[in-house]
Structure 1
Amino acid sequence: MTRSPHTAPPRQRTPGRGTDSNPETRFDRYARVAEDDGWAVSEDEDLPTLRTEVRDESPRRVITRNTSPDIGFDRSINPYRGCEHGCVYCFARPSHGYLGMSPGLDFETRLIARPDAPARLETELRRKGYAPATIAMGTNTDPYQPIERDRRIMRGILEVLQRFRHPLSIATKGSLVERDADILSEMSGQGLARVGVSVTTLDAGLARTLEPRVPSPARRLKTIERLARAGIEVRVMASPLIPGLTDPELESILQSARDAGAVAASWIMLRLPFEVSGLFEDWLEIHAPGRRDKVLARLREMHGGKTYSAEWGHRMRGEGVHAALIAKRFDVAVKRLGLVEHLPPLRCDLFQVPLGDARQPSLF
């Protein structure tokens, strides 16, 4: 949990959360500042525990298109809005502002599920003139966050894509992806699917504060091993790398993932959009005060004096001596370990619209 040194004492217990503050978004007309009213909360006071709440949403479409020149896909699906994993550095936190909620605690505890996503997806894939290309999953929030265990929305989406023989890629930190190894193994064998597993650090203690509800680093390496054993093509994503904090682990992360069965690797530098920057600086102040100045100085060096720049082609890696050094270290390690950065494109030529649908299969 990250408690901002600038906020009043909490009125609820927030165990296992990345933050317990709820800062405003850039869309809010007014800013609210929490002030201590003098009625201090005793440390032994039995405060209620904040629980995760989930609301359902029924979107008209589930495939989101993008034209970003520095992203290797043009379409994606997100079964959920918000993410219970609670990674304090998550670049997707500001997206909750579009819903009138905070990128802070709201992002972790007020989630939106899309139970109709599999049916909507099937409708979109059946549209005349639809041209297949890899659908990326986990691009904003994790499709295998804890609520997927009961909701099974991601499972339903995979079943649709499997029937249509549609290519997909998955990015996740969740070990729940192992549940769907039966579908992913078959699709991977046809050149239709691959999975990326994010490993930010090998330090379990550090991971517990950075990513409070994510499986431990060792557990994620086990996930890589189990997926690879099932014949699924796995990429390790050393993302995000935090300069001055986790970047010394780069080679160890790649080595451990290769030994577990990963065949490819990638990395992205820490990204701190406007609303996330304050949350992460508070986290540094509380959990790594001795590293705070170094981390922030490295980030400013990479982004022209700011902690982040959203420029195309720049935002993922930064620039300058330190960014170039990390890129070189990655290239050398990947070559030494026999990993690859670029895998062949997934197949689109197998795409076929089934005669029937899940509710009314074809007789032929």
Structure 2
Amino acid sequence: MKVSKLSVVLLALIYLITNTVPVSGAAYKFALDEQNTRQIKDSFTETGFPFQEDWSVNLGGQVMSQPIVADGYIYVQTGKDLVKISLEGKMIVDKIKVTDHELPSGSSPTYAVTTHGPRIYQATRDHKLIAIDVNTFKPIWELILTTDENSDNYKKRYRVTASPLVYIHNNRTYLAIGTANGDGTGLSEQHADNGFFIIHDTGVRGKVIKSTQMDGEVTGSPIIHNGMIIGTENTQYKESWLIRYIMNKDNFTTLDCPVDLGVPGSPAAEGDYIYVVDRTGCLYKFENKSETEIQKIWVNPEKTGDFDATRPLNSYNLLSPAIGNKYIYIPIQHYNSASFNGPGAVIAVDKESGHTHRIHTFSTMLKSN
């Protein structure tokens, strides 16, 4: 299989974004911290705009997820393998086979310093979660994710495209992750597992301690916010609900928080506020103070007089918002062009007022956050 130019250039871009950042406990992706809050921490001068290719590596396979950078190495899934690339040597220094599936995962790997030491966690398109030793680059444990352990649905085709969230609670290492509908191949035996999972890494195996089946796909990566794990579900054009799991109680909140449509991407958080974008490009701001206190503040572009009010009529979004100093930035896959799979846009929305501030359109669709 030929390597796409995107996969090679992407590695160089990630290097340029992160080469001024001291790499320690976290694995850096642009605008992500250890809690996945999607706040942009880098100034534009630090990120090195405009990007220029510094070096490249032939990955030898297709790439469908973003790389991460941790402790002097780049980690990215290419084809059936997870590869480890040295930033100093600018070369692949190790790799491990993580799947037999026809396609690589849409889930980026997650690096974390756990209670058992540093580990890489990789989810796959054939609904597996794998813990990998960073130093030996060997598997520690492998877990098949399924919402029905008493059936053979795990043999069918469904995927994980969310990146695992790793957190430590009461000196134990846990992961939060979700499953989705089908595997993207269109082959027979497609299945909608649509689950949300809390997993305990015991050190030698992964143990599911909480799981629930959702009406919609869980394709966005969860975040940590005010003592809760926050996730989203993509119910397409039906009403969806924010997933709110209380870590101290090992249970989900009883107070529902509806969103008008499905949410394919990840939430973003700042202070007491959570932001999510539905599949038509509408941005929701929620105040999430505690398990018993959550309210919708506004929905963009529903504010009276917003010049972009027609956006939801013909826009299509699978992506996630990012938080800047004054604005929330929404990448839209097809902006006012969903009916003909047209070009995308990035939209800046005022964090306080909820009004659209500015729109930058592109000549092609947007493919990633």
Rg comparison, structure with higher value = 1
Same fold (TM > 0.5)? no
Greater strand content: 2
TM-score (norm 2): 0.27
Greater helix content: 1
TM-score (norm 1): 0.27
Higher relative contact order (CA 8 A, sep 6+): 1
